Chain A
């Protein structure tokens, strides 16, 4: 079972050196414990481009698909047997990166 853990933040700016160091320690532990799938930090929403090619016209729009005060600044994907494990990992991740996080399960494969 995989969980997306989105890091929620409300301003530009990268992690401080202390935060980055704590994230490294956390990531090492997640990898050692076998929960690691993928993770990454994202550039600010202002750098986003929205593409709509549903009718083949490939319209590009500058900026994010929705303007919000808080946005996803990065994410982890964890492998975890159940939500309790995912929540514990997410809580430690929130502490390490010093930001709020949201846990969301991936859809189970279709039956």
Chain B
């Protein structure tokens, strides 16, 4: 890659969201902002290798995109002055007086993750507008036809405009809830990357996990005091750190107890641990109860602190799951708690807890995989086989299916 190409790639990562956000604010139109920004980057790809990389790439891109947007509006002559004035008025909300969160990009993120949009639409729109991914890239990531994905994004932009979904950081009383909506979008992107589904999909989609981490870092830079944002970033880092140890050379999932811990990414783990400690200090001094992402991050911090599976502090893990159940009493949390209980109190106690979740989780592959594991440890091969069989039927991740199949076949 030439220096100019590298500069364009870097600018795309660092400046895309800012340029789209600035233009959306100025022109009051996501469509215009998106197209003009894409055009500015296309111009950079052409010009920078010839003219050299400008000293301030972000400024160059914003100016170029602005000019492009004005040309576009003039060409299409879409707005008369009256409507332009209305848009300007609408966009002229004073920034929330909260200091750090006054950033154009936050407005963009909150608009893309608005609760009046369907979850899959929020994901697509966030990846396009904030992440700068192209429609073909997003379609591939979610195994959706490109035309369908394009339509989904177009419809979302039309709804934002017609229903006047505001372009602003939500009011203080709604902020916590709306931030949690944004984090749900990012966590979904991360999970789809971490445990990719589909028979022809690689088991781990590093592009998606990396994008989710990048966007979460951005949100943390914008909302540094939000504990759940920090918690989610820590959770992602501590999960990502184990990525290369989690799938074997033959494409099979490697369970936590069999992973080569030397292959874990110690830089990511150190950063994740630092973030978890930061939150522990805040929670200890302010008494504000941690949310689910912070607790999940703490659980992952316990796992990644053990140099050997036998050094894992299981009582700490169970205590954290108890805390998590108080925040999120879902059967999936109860299932994960049972896995830790098996290490602390034995598989029999854990199996009894898992069996109580039968009704709620019968269609969930991890429920059957966990049962299979516990039954195997209890020496009950026949029911273990049946449980593996059911888990394989329900699992969508190729590495997980390979792992479950081998485990089942070992039972003879």
Please report A residues at the B interface, Cβ cutoff 8 Å: 1, 81-84, 86-87, 103-105, 107-108, 111
Contacts and interface: CB of A to CB of B under 8 A. Distances in A.
B11 interface: no
A86 B116 CA distance: 11
A82 B116 contact: no
Interface in B93-126: 114, 116
Nearest to A87: B116
A107 B165 CA distance: 14
A105 B80 contact: no
Contacts, number: 31
Nearest to A104: B163
Given A81-B90, A87-B116, A111-B78, A1 B164 contact: yes
Nearest to A105: B163
B164 A82 contact: yes
Contacts of B290: none
A84 B162 CA distance: 13
B80 A111 contact: yes
B147 interface: no
B101 to A, nearest CB: 17
Interface of B: 78-80, 83, 90, 114, 116, 162-166, 170, 174
Contact of B116 (A83, A107, A108): A83
Contact of A82 (B79, B80, B90): B90
Contacts of A86: 163
A111 B83 contact: yes
A76 to B, nearest CB: 16
Contacts of B80: 111
B112 to A, nearest CB: 14
A82 B90 CA distance: 8
B162 A108 contact: yes
Contact of A105 (B79, B90, B162): B162
A82 B165 contact: yes
Contacts of A82: 90, 164-166
Contacts of B79: 111
B170 A84 contact: yes
26 contacts: A1-B164, A81-B164, A81-B166, A82-B164, A82-B165, A82-B166, A83-B116, A83-B163, A83-B164, A83-B165, A84-B165, A84-B166, A84-B170, A84-B174, A86-B163, A103-B163, A104-B163, A105-B162, A105-B163, A105-B164, A107-B162, A108-B162, A111-B78, A111-B79, A111-B80, A111-B83
Contacts of B83: 111
Nearest to A106: B162
A90 B78 CA distance: 32
Nearest to A1: B164
A103 B78 CA distance: 27
Contact of A83 (B78, B166, B174): B166
A21 B165 CA distance: 31
A75 B164 CA distance: 20
B230 to A, nearest CB: 26
Nearest to B178: A84
Among A83, A86, A107: residue with most chain B CB under 10 A: A83
Given A105-B163, A105-B164, 20 more contacts: A81-B90, A81-B164, A81-B166, A82-B90, A82-B165, A82-B166, A83-B116, A83-B163, A83-B165, A84-B165, A84-B170, A84-B174, A86-B163, A103-B163, A105-B162, A107-B162, A108-B162, A111-B78, A111-B80, A111-B83
Contacts of B170: 84
Nearest to B114: A83
A59 B169 CA distance: 52
Contacts of B174: 84
Contacts of B164: 1, 81-83, 105
Contacts of B166: 81-84
A111 B79 CA distance: 7
A82 B170 CA distance: 12
A86 B114 CA distance: 14
Nearest to B86: A108
A2 to B, nearest CB: 10
Among B90, B116, B164, B174: residue with most chain A CB under 10 A: B164
Nearest to B162: A105
A62 B67 CA distance: 58
A109 to B, nearest CB: 9
A107 B162 CA distance: 7
Contacts of A81: 90, 164, 166
The list of the 5 closest CB pairs from A to B, nearest first, reads: A82-B166, A105-B163, A82-B164, A83-B163, A83-B165
Contacts of B163: 83, 86, 103-105
